[in-house]
Amino acid sequence: MVVRLQRRLGDEEEGRRLVRGGTNGHGNKKKPITVNNGSSSVCVWKGVTFLLVVLLILIVTETIEVKKPMPKETNGQASMGGIVQMKTTLPPSISEDRDTETNVQIPAEATKQPDPTSPPKAPEPEPTNPPTEEPKPEPTSPPTEEPNPQPSLSPTEAPKVEPTIPPVEKPKQEEPQSEAQPQPVANPVDLISARTTERHTYQRRGQPMSEEDRKAMIDKWGQWLLVDDKERPTTDYYDSYPNRDIPRSAFPSNAWQIDTKYLSKFLPESINLVDRAIEAILTEYGKTEGTFEERAEMFELEMYDSLEKAGNYIISKPEWRKDEVGERGGWSTSKSMEGLKRRLLHAVMTEDTFIFALAGHSAAAGHGNLFAQSYSVQVQWIMEAIFARLGVRHQARNLANGGLGTVQHGLAANSVYGPSIDLLMWDSAMTEKDAPALEVLARQAILAGKKVPALWGFLGGTAKYLSMNFDADVGAAGRGTFGIPQAETLEEVEALPWASRYLKCGSDINQICKENKYIGHCWDDDIHPGLEPPTKQKSVPGGQAGWHPGNRSHQLIGRILTFTILRSLKDGLKEWNEAEGYAIPDEKWHVTSWYDNIRYKVESSGPDVGSCNELAKLDLDWTCKYPVKARTEFTPRAYPSLSNIRTLMPPDMAKLVPQPDAPLYDPPENFIKDLHPPAGALDLLNIVEAGVDFRSTLNPDYSAEHYKKPTFSSPATMPFGKGVGLISKAGDQFCDGTADSFCGKGALDDCLLAGTNDSRNGLVFDGFSGWVVLNIPDLKFGYVALKFETWHKSGENSQTRDFTSENGESAIRRDLKGDEAPEYCDAFKFEYAIDGKVTVLSKDEFLEKVRLVQRVVETITILKDPDYTGGQEKEVEVAFRITGCERIKTFVFSHIYWA
């Protein structure tokens, strides 16, 4: 039987009494009824008659509806009387001017099994409140107001909600909704249960200011003053939906996203913050006169409706020189910018992360500068504070490596750059121009991650192909130098804003400009007073080559990217702010169908589409169609403590391998003046940080599912090598390429403040090292490849310095170190084992099987059997060693790939 009780929130205690009894309406227990005489019996019968009359009236007025018992459950459990549904009015925190009803379902059968089609939920904790108290949501900030009223529920059950759209693997395309008639909130009084995730609080990075200077800055630019003092959900309930695409109707009652009173303040405040940042960037480069369009010309994106007729240089204005688009803000397509706006809105709406990742070469890595001065980190330098105000966790990852292209990471992009990238930029034209390398990077970024990123910076021909064939969102950043005046004298240099100085110089002062190209030094005694670095520090960071950009050039490119993100973010916030009742339709910000469209077109593309399948001659064509995973010792890399090769080693094997050096000192470092503008110059970071204290944001974890750990449930089939060495970076576990990285600060580093992340690391082994044994936790499609560096010098592996046989069975000190990489000896053998099955390759067989993918990028595919696991994920042991050349031939093992 289902009983419907019409009530208002003010009557909820009386409603509880009618449903389950137990109180008299004043919180006191009722006295038991006793029957001692006939008079008492008459009273009892009168009471029963009265109740029957009341019940009849309720049935006639449809306040109580009698239904048949629910059918027997398919799981074998019988229904015990159905459920009780209560109608309740909408709390005023959701809407100040409408009275909406909803059904709260209270299962009558406590042991009823959940519907297998409903979204997964974490176990719900038992209430800790007394039975007469209302359940309360966990606060995200100290509560200063009364919590939202909650429905009265049975004290033995936590509140539940049935989502309107169950998460499935590939949801159907959403139907557009009318903006004039937003979707009603179906469960306004409930909290959605989900696993609690860790939270992150932004730490200010701005340089110290006097109170007088800070007041003057705030008076001119303003500050963030909005404080949300209501209790909000703290659990990551979005995680129950594909790509966090929660329907608006499923938001909890106290979610800020449906609190119109709060949104009426939050959205204008957010738009003002974005406008403040945009105007400050324009002022930073002296663009204060004229219309907005005139002032922002150097940041302008050349927009296309389609790239069908675009050439490799992606320009459309005939009056522009071939490279002039590169001197402005860059280019993109209308559809791509819609995709970027959607991703940004989605991140704000679902309190998600927004990740920018860079794949590139030495110039992109920031060689010659402090790492935090590189342009990708400069994006985070400004955007992190802005995103934090909007409830979004932001990182920018500079994952570039000098002297290389990107293919060594691109083969398994999401394992190295991270599985949740929103914007991926390629910048390696100086070292990599082959289309297959760019395409495999793009394909893996689309296929293997939790998200489908927008792809920025890819060469015009590749970008056009990705857009036309896969609907990928594409674009590129320019250099922004179009808006920088050329100075002919030092007086003209000094007259420019600080950010524009020394970027464009006439021939008479060109040498002086070169001398002022970089700002950065390696050590300052004020960083850690009393600490004397064990290694003599250089005066300036290494890599200050003529072809590497200086810090002002990096900052300008960072501002171009920041400006592009800000303009798109503002467009999304304005659209939300202008929606009726702030109810922006789901299809305006949900990403699942957007992602699925792009992924499907990549997955269904044949071998004749694009250039990626040229990798077949390298035994790597499988990387074009399957999601590939990897582990590497290169730095930087996303989630460095999870993504290194050593995490695949059985514990007893890992103990035999040296560990990376620890940092010489702990973070944070004291104020580094080279990272900030001088006194008198506009300080963009302090402007965007200004305001009340930052609140914590959700920090969704995308790592656990992607970086699975082996179980090592079966004993190893191969013996563990005792002579495997390690080339690594001090603080390896902190080398993630972000503004928070703490890398290259060890006792042997000679430029501690540089914080350089870029390093080609690996496991070192030779003929005396023995077997390198690894367990791949989730092989599915039957492919495994290894990447080696075979050109290292004799004796480079210090782990076998005193060995005269494999694993050092006896020891005599020998020095075989030479000046050049030695040739292979005739007795050389390369052996590998898959689950204990050993294959031995002679020198000639090994050389025939090894593939040179790019300069110093050598791979060997050791498993290519689609039937090996039967299409199911399986833990597989992989082992390899070299023999026959003693310590003469030395390899460095840097990557393992599998699918």
pLDDT attached to residue 323: 55
User: Is residue 157 pLDDT above 50, yes or no?
Assistant: no
Helices (H), 676-749: 684-689, 703-706
pLDDT attached to residue 404: 96
678 lies in a domain?
no
User: Is residue 176 pLDDT above 60, yes or no?
Assistant: no
pLDDT attached to residue 108: 33
Write out the residue range of the structural domain in which residue 889 sits: 725-898
Q: Is pLDDT larger for residue 104 or for residue 569?
A: 569
376 lies in a domain?
no
pLDDT in tens, 430-469: 999 999 999 999 999 999 999 999 999 998 889 999 999 9
What CA–CA distances, in Å, run from 120 to 145, 193, 607, 870?
Answer: 32, 10, 38, 27
For residue 711, give the nearest of 775, 641, 654 by alpha carbon: 775
pLDDT attached to residue 822: 86
Query: What's the burial of 191, exposed, middle or buried (CB within 10 Å: 0-12/13-18/19+)?
Result: buried
Number of domains in the chain: 1
Tokens for 709, please give them: 């750990």
pTM of the full predicted structure?
Answer: 0.78
Pair 207, 690: CB distance under 8 Å: no
pLDDT in tens, 491-516: 999 999 999 999 999 999 999 999 99
DSSP state of 459: -
Question: CA–CA separation, 295 vs 723, rounded Å?
Answer: 62
79 lies in a domain?
no
User: Is residue 544 pLDDT above 90, yes or no?
Assistant: yes
769 lies in a domain?
yes
pLDDT in tens, 749-792: 999 999 999 999 999 999 999 999 999 999 999 999 999 999 88
Question: CA–CA separation, 178 vs 580, rounded Å?
Answer: 10
For residue 631, give the nearest of 649, 611, 645, 617 by alpha carbon: 645
Q: Output the DSSP codes for 537-557.
A: PPSS-S---TTS--HHHHHHH
421 lies in a domain?
no
818 lies in a domain?
yes
Q: Output the DSSP codes for 393-439.
A: EEEEEE---TT--SHHHHTTHHHHT-S--SEEEEE-TTT---HHHHH
476 lies in a domain?
no
SS3 (DSSP) at 800: helix
pLDDT attached to residue 440: 98
Residues facing 105 on adjacent strands: 85
Residues facing 239 on adjacent strands: none
pLDDT in tens, 373-423: 999 999 999 999 999 999 999 999 999 999 999 999 999 999 999 999 999
Work out the angle at residue 573's Cα, subtended by the Cα atoms of residues 569 and 578, and round it to the nearest 5 degrees: 150
pLDDT attached to residue 494: 97
755 lies in a domain?
yes
Question: CA–CA separation, 111 vs 115, rounded Å?
Answer: 12
